[in-house]
Amino acid sequence: MTSWHYAAVVILLIAATGGAGLLISRNDAGFPSTILGERRRSAILEWKMQPAEAEAIVMDWNANQPSMSIARRGLLLDTVLFIPLYSTLIAMLCFWAAHVSASIGSTRTVLLALGWCGWVAGAFDLIENAGILAETYNHYFVATPTACVALMKWGLVLSASLVAIGRLLVALILRR
């Protein structure tokens, strides 16, 4: 693939990932007005480390229908659309950055490994979503491991993305 091919794929993935994010936002806008603040986000349980916090949110959603249906639909959209798209976007950014790097050297190898880490982050996100789904069925003991997996996911997402974007910016500046 040429750099133009990578650019086209990345632009397409940015648009598709943004579209999936908009679908999730539109879904979350359906929470009733009785649900306030951060609880109006279907993904809020990924950040709740304590089982009591997860339980309070789930009880609030159950008490204010159709909140639970909206939360689970947001989780479904995240699972089938957003996760595959953003993880593939990160992988393609890293593979493109590897493509513009010297063929001999550790930079290319590191970027190729980080590309695969984009998909590993997506796998962590799927595990996280399984935990969130379990929490919506009153299995609050999974709150801590779910939040820990979310933190690992975010570490991979941010590190792989920032390294790839940084390398692509250097390539642009140096025209290499």
Provide the residue count of the chain: 176
Q: Which residues, 6+ apart, have CB-to-CB distance to 46 below 8 Å?
A: 128, 132, 146, 147, 150
Q: What is the DSSP letter of 48?
A: -
Share of residues in the chain with pLDDT > 90 (%):
94
Q: Over the chain, what is the mean pLDDT?
A: 96
Number of domains in the chain: 1
pLDDT of 176 above 80:
no
Phi and psi of 65, rounded to 5°? Answer: -70, 145
Range of the domain at 17: 3-174
d(CA 8, CA 30): 34
pLDDT at residue 21 in the model = 98
**How do residues 67-80 score in pLDDT, each as one tens digit?**
999 999 999 999 99
Q: Are 101 and 111 in contact (CB under 8 A)?
A: yes
Of 93, 118, 108, which is closest to residue 7 (Cα–Cα)?
Answer: 93
Burial of 33 (0-12, 13-18, 19+ CB in 10 A): exposed
Question: Mean pLDDT over residues 150-174, rounded?
Answer: 96
**How do residues 14-64 score in pLDDT, each as one tens digit?**
999 999 999 999 999 999 999 999 999 999 999 999 999 999 999 999 999
Question: Mean pLDDT over residues 116-139, rounded?
Answer: 98
pLDDT at residue 105 in the model = 82
Share of residues in the chain with pLDDT > 70 (%):
99
Is the pTM higher than 0.85? The answer reads yes
**8-17, 94-103, 159-168: range with lowest mean pLDDT:** 94-103
**How do residues 72-115 score in pLDDT, each as one tens digit?**
999 999 999 999 999 999 999 999 999 999 877 899 999 999 99
pLDDT at residue 104 in the model = 78
Burial of 42 (0-12, 13-18, 19+ CB in 10 A): buried
